[in-house]
Structure formats: structure tokens, C-alpha cells
A and B are shown apart, each in its own frame.
Chain A
Amino acid sequence: MSLLEVKNVTKKFSGLIAVNDVSLTVEAGQIVGVIGPNGAGKTTLFNCIAGALPPTSGSIIFNGKEIAGKKPYEICQLGVTRTFQVVKPFGSKTVLYNTMVGAFAQTQHLHEAEEKALEVLKFLDLDHKKDVVSKSLTLPERKKLELARALATQPKLLLLDEVMAGLRPSEVTEMLPTIRKINQTGVTIVIVEHIMQAIMNLSEKIYVISFGKKIAEGDPHDVVADEEVIKAYLGEEYVATQH
């Protein structure tokens, strides 16, 4: 049984079809990428899985349970945690405080939450910043904090919404091993990303979405060679230069 099964999910916004009959499956332990041009509906699909938006139709099964239409906090309690493309730290609080909020998902006790949070911060190499107020962090640090907070909830499935968007190339290359390291601890990851280099490197399997529809899926190298994907995502010019 797959860990996550998205079946024929459609999301309409009064006439506009943002996600059109998309299906995808994620096996436990995988890193799966979802790519597509701007406005393709990647984040909307994500919002449907994470519960921020209820899908108009279709079904989303996580770990054998139907989660379509459930609230974000219920979905998180079942073991799916997401990060936000536009980072949303609890700005007036410290890095440790932020991470502890996540850790409280698994415990009632302050010291246990603190222990877990410190462990996660150490794992992500952010522990030296633990007493810094989160609004004074740099963007890469904030992105890491987003990860730390999500990871502290001890999810089975982590949904990463453009964690690398806005980072410099050198910062991206720093982030890649971190994500792989998280995956190695047994967390399944679905990652929405713009940056081809990142997603090619990480994913075992890629889904390509364009104008709300899935246009390709499979091994990263096969997907980037696909004519339709190249047209939709990389542009006609790219096709021309390749021939």
C-alpha cells in the first residue's frame, strides 16, 4: 500500500480549474518531486493534501485513511506536516520557541518538547541560533526554521512547498544534503520546487503539472527529456536549442 494516494483530485475556484483531475502516488521512504511552471496549480494541489483547501472532487488517502476535506490540524495529527512557500515563523518568538510549538504535537510536557526541539535544531545545524528571535533570521535560516518546526512534529510525510525558492545557488547546494538527511531518517518527502537542479538531484520520481493537469510522471531523467514537459516547462526555445 502506498503511503499517499491522490486520486483524481480537482480544485475549482468559481469557474477557474486550478487542479484538474490529478493523481499521484507516493511510496513510504521516497522523495517525490512536483514541478511545473508558475500558476500550474502545484501549491493548490499541496493545499488540498495539507487541508488548507478542500478539494472540489477526488480522494486523498494517507496511510489508508481518507484525508480529503479534513482540517490542517487533523491532517498534521495524522502525520502529514507541511512547510510554507512564504515562510511564516512566529516572528516575536525565538527559534527554540518556534520549534517547540511543533514538538508539542507529540507531547504534553514542556521539557520533552524542549528536548525534541533541541534535537531537531541540532540535526538541522540551527542549534547555535536557538535563542535568536525568529524575525531577525536571514532567509535561508528562516527556511531552515520552517523545516525544523515541521520536523519537530515527527511527521511520516513531509510536504515541502518551495523550500529553496529565493535562495542563492550556494545556499541551495547547502539545503540539498539537509533534505536528503531528513529523508534518511525515514521521513517520506513530497517536494514542490521550481529549481530544476534541486529537484533533479533529490527526487526518485517526478510529477509534472501544467495548467492544472498532470502532463508527465516518472524518473527525473526521462521526465526532462519528454517533449511535452520541455514545451510546457522549459519553453519552446529550449526545445529549439536542443535540436
Chain B
Amino acid sequence: MKNYLNQNPVVLKLTILLLAALFLLPLVVTSPTLMQIFILVILYAYFTSTWNFVGGFAGVLPLGHSAFVGIGAYTSTVLLQTYGLSPWFGMIVGGLLAAIVGVIIGLPTLKLRGAYFALATIAVGEGIRVLFENVKQVGPFKINGPSGISITLTENSFTAFQFDTKAPYYYIILIMLLVVLLLTYYMMNSKIGYYLAAGGEEPEAAEALGIKVSRYKVIAMAISCFLTALGGTFYAQLMLYFYPKSILGLDLSYEIAFIALIGGRGTILGPVLGALLLRPVSELTRIYIGDMLPGLHLVIFGLILIIVMRYYPKGLVVPVKALFNRHIIDRFSKPKRIDESTTTEKAD
């Protein structure tokens, strides 16, 4: 926190202003459709930020994270539908389950490098989807195979995680995102963060410096899967209906990875920026040409990705930060510097 407060005062003021605007947004925006888009932007920023713990910091590219979204959604929903347990409770159970599955998958796969890890995660993710599509019932839990689950409507209450208006959903996911961003910040500035970065970049050198690289990667995987699954429960409660293709498919996994790569993986703001740019694209294509060309948004993402990778391989967060530093911080924080530059110009 000390470092955070040491930031440039302009940045601090702008952050407070932005946060205030975000919290006041539902008072201004009344259209539920528009609110839904905002909620989804934040939800995808959340998914990408949780993905970032592995994909951004551990130096690997997971392409099957929808599996953990699905585990979260299914766990809380079957617990709710079968035993009437609050989704808030199911959320934690789903998170823990996802962390366990993540560790089991991570132990053998995180030793793989580059494309091999990505391929392994695609395979596992797809395997889990097919499994859910072909199973109607597990013990007492109905999961209905490919037709999915609709959550029974109950009263408007916090414990039931169901609300008449969009605003409560908006606040819940906003707070979840802020918490994850804060966690990301703390992780980056801790031993785990340093060790993950080192192990991701030069595993051999990292091991020579006393780092058990695989252990730290598995820790990152567990954290990431736990948090991703919490978002899965949120998704289930927001939509009240989901099926394997919608929540366990490669579409979702790819979209998360696209957002991260285009925004800037391994940074705090990259996922937020990516979601802010790409989410509206996928919403708009779904609304206007979704019937004709479903999946067009992924094509567009692919094109954007190629262009961004060509010019900004570290993601759009790099040029955006540079622009921000040049035009906003300099203009607002240091009138002195402007004086200096004008005087030197005169001297010339």
C-alpha cells in the first residue's frame, strides 16, 4: 500500500475519480441492456485478471480456463438446486473444487513449455466440456447434459444471489474485480510474484537461484482457478441459465486469452483495457450479425490480435500508458516543466 500511495498525485486523484464514477454509474444508466453490457465488460475483465495469475505471470498460455468457469457455475448451481444452499456458499465450494482440479491438471502440464502447455490445456478443457455434455446426472446432482441448467427463480435477495435490477450484479462484480486487481498488485510485489516472473522467463536460472519453479507455478494455478470459478458462479446467477457450450466451450477460453494478449498479459491494467475494447465488439457482432455468422467476433479478435502483436507485442497497455503519461500526467502535474521547456525554447 505504501508504494501505491507514493504514486503521482495526479494518478491517485484520477483513480479516485474513476472509482467514484464506476460506483455512481448505475444511478445514471437505467437501461438494463446497457447495464448488462457494462456487467459483462467487468466480468470478462475479472476472468482475464484471474487468468493473468497463470497466463500473465507464470509464463505459460492456458487456453482452457472456461473449464474453471464451468466448475464454478455448475457447483454452486447443483448445490442450490439440490439442497437449496445459497450460491454464496456454493461459490466458495466451487472455487475450492476448481483449485483442486487446477492443481491436478497443473502438476503434470505446468512442466511443459510454450505451445505444449497451451495444447494440453485445450485438450483438458474440451474433455471437461464433452464430459458435461454427455452426463445427465452425477449422484444426486442433475446436470442435464447438453441442455444445461436453468436456475429456479426465487425472491429478490442477497442470500439467494438473485436481484430484480441489474445494479446489484454490477456492484458485486465490480467489487470482485477490484479485489482481484488488488490481489494482483500484491502478488506482483511479493516473493511469489518475483519468483513466478523469474521462473516464467528463465526457468534454469531461476532454479539456480533457489526457486522451485514448478511449485510456484502450481500455487499460481490454484489461485487462478479458485478465483476464476467464483466468476463462474456469478455468471450462472446473472444469466440464470447455462449449458456446457456457453460456459465450458473453447469460445470463452479463447476470448479470455485474446483479451489478455491484446490488453497486455502480466500487467494489472491490461486485462481491464482488453475487456473494455473487445467486449463491446463481441456484444455488437452478436446482436447485429450473430444469427448469420456466429463466432464472427473471434475472427475480428484474431485480426486485432495480429495487428496488436505486430506493433505492440506486449499489448495495448504499453502505448496507452505512454499516451497517458505524456498527455495527462505531464499536463496536469508539472506546470514547472512546461515553463522550463518554454524558456529553453526561447534560449534557442
Contact = CB atoms under 8 A, between A and B. Distances in A.
Interface of A: 50, 52, 71-73, 76-77, 81-82, 84, 88-93, 97, 100-102, 104-105, 107-108, 110, 113, 149-150, 153
Given A52-B204, A73-B210, A76-B208, A104 B191 contact: yes
B189 A101 contact: no
A147 B206 CA distance: 14
A81 B202 contact: no
Interface stretch (B79-87, B160-168, B192-200): B192-200
Contacts of B190: 110
Contact of B191 (A90, A92, A97, A113): A113
A104 B212 contact: no
A101 B207 contact: no
B212 A73 contact: yes
B283 interface: no
Q: How large is the interface on B (under 10, 10 to 19, 20 to 34, 35 or more residues)?
A: 10 to 19
A24 to B, nearest CB: 20
B209 A153 contact: yes
B135 interface: no
A84 B207 CA distance: 12
25 contacts: A50-B208, A73-B209, A76-B207, A77-B210, A81-B208, A84-B205, A88-B202, A89-B205, A90-B202, A90-B205, A90-B206, A91-B201, A91-B202, A92-B201, A93-B197, A97-B194, A100-B194, A101-B195, A101-B197, A101-B206, A105-B210, A107-B191, A149-B209, A150-B208, A153-B209
Nearest to B314: A92
A73 B205 CA distance: 10
Max count, chain A CB within 10 A of own CB: residue among B197, B201, B212, B213? B201
B101 interface: no
A153 B198 contact: no
B11 interface: no
Nearest to B2: A111
A72 B194 CA distance: 18
B211 interface: yes
Interface of B: 189-191, 194-195, 197-198, 201-202, 204-213
Contacts of B202: 88-91
A88 B206 CA distance: 9
A71 B206 contact: no
B197 A150 contact: no
Given A105-B209, A105-B210, A88 B204 contact: yes
Nearest to A100: B194
B210 A90 contact: no
A93 B206 CA distance: 13
B295 to A, nearest CB: 34
A2 to B, nearest CB: 23
A92 B210 CA distance: 20
B194 A101 contact: yes
Given A88-B204, A90-B198, A93-B197, A102 B191 contact: no
Max count, chain B CB within 10 A of own CB: residue among A77, A88, A90, A108? A90
Given A77-B210, A105-B209, 10 more contacts: A52-B208, A72-B208, A73-B212, A73-B213, A76-B209, A84-B205, A90-B202, A97-B197, A101-B211, A153-B210
B1 to A, nearest CB: 12
A232 B204 CA distance: 32
Contacts of A92: 201
A223 to B, nearest CB: 29
B211 A73 contact: yes
A73 B204 CA distance: 10
Max count, chain B CB within 10 A of own CB: residue among A101, A104, A108? A101
A93 B266 CA distance: 12
A84 B191 contact: no
CB-CB nearest 5 A-B residue pairs: A76-B210, A88-B205, A72-B207, A105-B210, A101-B198
